[in-house]
Structure 1
């Protein structure tokens, strides 16, 4: 994923013609919307499908519902590095369009899938779509004038907060009135809209890297490592942690990853530019941001299962809420995620997003620990939910903004790709850890795993411990530039086309 970029021009494009300033400004506003839309779709997908997992598991009578999200994470982990490199050679917009088309096909097949096997196969295709978000922040630096980059980055980074505001209500309406199929069709339609906006409004990046061969061996080792670790963790409680098969997958995954790093040091055109990771600041940002986002989404799954799974004495300690009821309970927390996400952009323009990352992790840890003990009544969820929500809003927006401050424009796509890769691996592992904890305290009813209160409580605590480890890493991050300072090394944007 290394790239040799042409020299960067640090000046803004020529000013608009007399009387055309508003049209010029309008173009960049529309461009921000077009680039933010896929981010909103992906974050909305996480929320809607998280809420729908219970219905999907019960419909297909499966105890392997964790793989509904894990398979997309693993596919993203394996494909994003290749797609990032392709984008540097052939054009970022071009790769975003191809990935979006594959994503739309995958979403459509998900909505139609009649069997669990076909559903997972379709989710495999959806995983390709993850590269779109990884490339979004890079293309912002390539096509926006320097004075717009900080604003555009903040808008896109916090756009996921819109999901927190409207997502729960939308999820409730779709799921309660139209079932999980309604959720899947909604995501398909929005993926089509995102593709149209991308085709019509987003220009191609002017930056190109030389065309080189792909590091297929590195990709095979990386994908094999992630898959082996996730599968081994998922089966550990079933087989036994000292079982030969469990150890084979876990040790094999570690060995494959070490081999991957060795290969990347030696091949002429590595999949991952390990030299980039010699920057201690960037390495810590990528690990902290990736691990935090992975754990936060995994922890959110606990709350979704707790609220939406049925309450069956002696069998299931879910709260049995409808999706709409759950949305009403968390509406204030959803607004808080949006506000805290927006605050990150403001802070990052003036100081450092490390402040918001650390603050968010502290709040999220506190929220998880309190919720582990108090999650049995509606008033408890209403009272303590905002702690986790505020932390989540701050953390998710901080990661991408920190990367902008840590790298030059020509390395933005690579850094975001590595961040997606790390977040995917660590997110898959944390998800599997949490589901392993839940499965150790589960009863299987008609092919569906239902969880006990002890399982929910322990899962919250485990998630808090994982976030605490991430907090230690975040505290070690050295000083990072503000987004305004980072914008000064960005390339010139192409002239704005006229909007009719």
Structure 2
């Protein structure tokens, strides 16, 4: 698997030969890049579009549980991707991508049609399966492209997600302001169908196969149950009471399930998560700090969307009532800065440890959140203070994978990336629920819809800053980490030694 693919199990060496054994005309590879980039862009765009649309969705369905609109997809994606990647190695990457895309299309279509909140959540459950397509894209590039094209193709697909930063805010504003949240959902459904057609017509099957081995179903059940129990317990704790038996049952049960998961992973032949890697202090701190930081940054960024888009209703809701287009105009420069700073990390990391950019990014993010805590009432404040958070976020998101390169052996790279992806998903789900629980505590319910007050927004910003501060402390504790150049040179020297 390529370094960007978050596989947590370790299959035996695959059978077949990578690197695109059969040469094709250049036009074939151009179409192939488009076919692989399209679903990647759609999945990237959906996060921004739906982040804005969830405000209208909450009001339409009169729900106090809008957090689950995002949480259910995140949890399903986090828990299903490792199994689906292993299935792809054994049965074929294109085959799994097509199956996941069909399920994703069904889910997106049901979302657009959903007449009830229950059906909407069921559809979002299906959409979570679609996430594996992005994870497999980079791996299939390595398998079916000629070696000379692999780097270029991977770079083009990765860069294509930058369209989200450039066009996403404006597209979101136009769709939502002119066609409502249904327009957003139908846009995603139609593009998912188009992505599936491109995948079927232009993407060849990978020639590589791994030997068929057993799946760690028990590990997946325990980890998924642990994350779900913790998220649900946190979400209901303020309603039931934090010392209530039901709250304690879910919280203690979630922790117990996670401890049982660690025990199981030590004993099974093909674990979901290779806990052997977590014994190394450097890597453990990298995974915890970068995973927690990424998860918290995504959930904290949600506060700004809610604050800007929820209406102003005296005594009920203290949102700012901006249109989606207005919100896009306020944040587009921050989105571009996020993209540029993420790209800059790669250049900086060639000379300096990415620990420097991780720490700097976390510090800037905390400053940005604290500034927004006290300054979120005027448009100029979003324009002036938003870049602190966005620059920090760009630095943090790019630093984690680079730190992993310097901390592990090449054969452990994909596994370590997978652990980091898993931690980001789980910690992101938990931190999102923490944010919404705090918002709900001081909010108001009107006609079945949850609205939020300024006290809630301020408390949520403080909670986000606090969680980021924990990640910063963990980052500062990371021992010296090699740069990618140093790591590659050291690995090459070790491989060249006699006996290797």
Aligned match of 1:494 = none
Deviates more, 1:308-317 or 1:348-357: 348-357
Could you say which structure has the greater relative contact order, defined with CA pairs below 8 angstroms and 6 or more residues apart? 1
Q: How does 1:175-254 map to 2 (within 5 A)?
A: 175-254=176-255
Distance 1:444 1:14, change over 3 A: closer
Deviates more, 1:322-331 or 1:478-487: 478-487
Does the CA contact (< 8 Å) of 1:158 and 1:397 recur in 2? no
Distance 1:123 1:362, change over 3 A: same
Deviation at 1:6, TM superposition (A): 4.9
Aligned match of 2:446 = 445
Aligned match of 2:437 = 436
Deviation at 1:154, TM superposition (A): 5.1
Deviation at 1:236, TM superposition (A): 1.0
Does the CA contact (< 8 Å) of 1:2 and 1:272 recur in 2? no
Counterpart CA distance in 2 for 1:382 and 1:262 is 49
Deviation at 1:389, TM superposition (A): 1.4
Counterpart CA distance in 2 for 1:271 and 1:126 is 22
1:87 is the counterpart of 2:95? no
Aligned residues: 483
Instruction: Provide the secondary structure at the position in 2 that maps to 1:330.
Output: helix
- Structure 2 stretches of 5 or more lacking a match? 1-8, 493-500
Alpha-carbon displacement from aligned partner over 1:73-92 (angstroms, at most 9, x marks no partner) = 11122212211221222233
Aligned match of 2:481 = 479
Match of 1:4 among 2, 12, 15: 12
Q: How does 1:305-454 map to 2 (within 5 A)?
A: 305-348=306-349, 352-403=353-404, 413-454=414-455
Aligned match of 1:110 = 111
Distance 1:148 1:231, change over 3 A: same
Distance 1:108 1:336, change over 3 A: same
- Structure 1 stretches of 5 or more lacking a match? 491-500
Does the CA contact (< 8 Å) of 1:354 and 1:480 recur in 2? no
Counterpart CA distance in 2 for 1:187 and 1:44 is 9
Instruction: Provide the secondary structure at the position in 1 that maps to 2:275.
Output: coil
Distance 1:248 1:13, change over 3 A: closer
Distance 1:373 1:150, change over 3 A: farther
Distance 1:489 1:364, change over 3 A: same
Counterpart CA distance in 2 for 1:71 and 1:396 is 22
Deviation at 1:365, TM superposition (A): 1.4
Does the CA contact (< 8 Å) of 1:101 and 1:195 recur in 2? yes
Counterpart CA distance in 2 for 1:403 and 1:204 is 30
Alpha-carbon displacement from aligned partner over 1:409-435 (angstroms, at most 9, x marks no partner) = 665554443333211110110000000
Counterpart CA distance in 1 for 2:207 and 2:288 is 29
Does the CA contact (< 8 Å) of 2:173 and 2:324 recur in 1? yes
Report the TM-score, using the length of structure 2 for normalisation: 0.87
